[in-house]
Chain A
Amino acid sequence: MTIKSEGLRKTLKIVIPAVLIPAVLILGLTVSDTKKAAFLIIAMLLLAGVLFVAGFEQRKTGTRRLILVAVFVALSVAGRFLPLFKPVTALTIIAGIYLGKEAGFLCGSLSAVISNFYYGQGPWTPFQMVAWGLAGFLAGILADPLKRSRVFLLLFGALSGCFFSLVMDVWTVTWAASVFDWDAYLAAFLTALPFTIMYSVSNVVFLLLIAKPFGEKLERVRIKYGI
């Protein structure tokens, strides 16, 4: 069921951003009940994902680059089996820095999808995809300063931990409470604070331990592979 015709692909690429996204937004406004917000946000995220994927499909990606992205995603998912370590964010950041923003986004979002094959898919999947994906994307944009300054890198790691937590809190609130209001969000944020701190600390520790050797290894492989 691949979309075979080139024309159809192109049309879809225009239709989705120009028609579907506004349509979803308008639908969101007419269904004034805020409790549908969760559903609409998910729909929006999925559409954004489709857009990104269309771009990825269009570009030519070399075999070796494709392999490296697969290796990164697999490492970050397999890394979840290690005790104490949850390297997803750190690896996503590194992928963004060394392989570019697209690879960073892919690494983050695919890690979410795939690890949920093991931990269970659900409406939280798109949120995780966006939270991790954006961390990787940003790391790709800020690659140069992140490579230069270790302090900045660690700070970025800590902030991405917070960011992930903040995005996931949006999910908790929109999904669980019927009304999105700032009180509920604050409450969710406070309950999740220990987790937020844990995310940030583990990101910092992980980046501290692996960023440098990882960069060296990747540089070597890039030369060896000729990427």
Chain B
Amino acid sequence: MRDFEAYNPITQFFYFAAVLIIGMFSVNPVILGLSLFGACALLFFGKVRISKGNCLFFVAMSLLPILLNPLFDHHGDTILFVLNDNPVTLEAVLYGIASGVMILASLLWLKAFSAVMTSDRLLYLFSAVSPKLALLLSMTLRYIPLFAAQTGKVQAAQKAIGLYKEDNVIDGVKGGARVFSVMVTWALENGIITADSMEARGYGIGRRTSFAIYRFRKKDVIFLLFSAVLFGLSLYAVITGGYQFDYYPTVGTVSASPVSVIGFVAFGLLSILPSAILLFEDIRWKYYQSKI
């Protein structure tokens, strides 16, 4: 993911927003396929690890509409069977599957988004909207690992002090509350030191600026231009109905009008843009190394 991480967070945010918006506005199977493919490619070339828990969640979330849609949606002409006096239609099943794929693709894009948008990148974005909120978030992110570590110390100290029982669930709950109570006091009382440290360094004397280590480089401009054009073309296809695909009353066919084809190509390019960069940089690096 390294070569894509080198871009400015604004570029990255714009890209993910563009892909997600198009991907979520359309149930056209071609778009769904391209979106799913693009997300998978990015996760693969970016070497993003997906945990078992993640996998389970993704599968469960995408199965939900596949199972639910036929049960609640009774439109469509092709009745497969009747359940509790309600018809279950082929169209509803297919639409459910399309929704499932859409959800899966969106979740995978979000997974890639989370892998790229680390907290400090997101903070940078926040600071464009509200520097103060960004600072508050940064302070909180500073406190969380500190509190987590201190919680561990408090648990150990309270155990080894030997004054409290830990025999059953009620004692356990009491123990948890005790640890939490110590943490609250500790955090509140020591917060004053942070406040002093902030004021000693001039917090609150006037308008703040907001520093970021991210620069906006030429490659950001190029990437933004590229993705903006592709996004524009896709959006045009959305608005003019180039991505139109009917499931009801009967499943339609994929349109092959010029607008649709241009739209498909544009979205296809958009969805593989970062993977292409990753792949290209990989090859270039290998080429450079072989020259040495």
Contacts and interface: CB of A to CB of B under 8 A. Distances in A.
Interface of A: 1-3, 31, 35-36, 39, 50, 53-54, 56-57, 61-64, 66-71, 73-75, 77-79, 81-85, 87, 106, 110, 113-114, 117, 120-123, 172, 175-179, 181, 183-184, 187, 205, 209-210, 213-214, 217-218, 221, 224-225
Given A35-B99, A210-B181, A225-B195, A71 B188 contact: yes
Nearest to B147: A78
A39 B144 contact: no
A73 B135 CA distance: 13
A63 B205 CA distance: 11
Chain B interface category by residue count: 35 or more
A75 B133 contact: no
Contact of A3 (B124, B128, B177): B128
Contact of B176 (A39, A71, A82, A224): A82
Contact of B130 (A57, A63, A181): A57
B129 A50 contact: yes
Interface string B70-105: 001100000000000000000000011001000100
B72 A121 contact: no
Contact of B113 (A35, A78, A121, A217): A121
B195 A63 contact: yes
Interface of B: 10, 21, 24-25, 27, 54, 57, 61, 64-65, 68-69, 72-73, 95-96, 99, 103, 106-107, 110-111, 113-114, 117, 119, 122, 124, 127-133, 135-137, 139-141, 143-144, 146-148, 151, 172-173, 176-177, 179-181, 183-185, 187-189, 191-192, 194-195, 198-199, 203-204, 209-210, 212, 216
A178 B184 contact: no
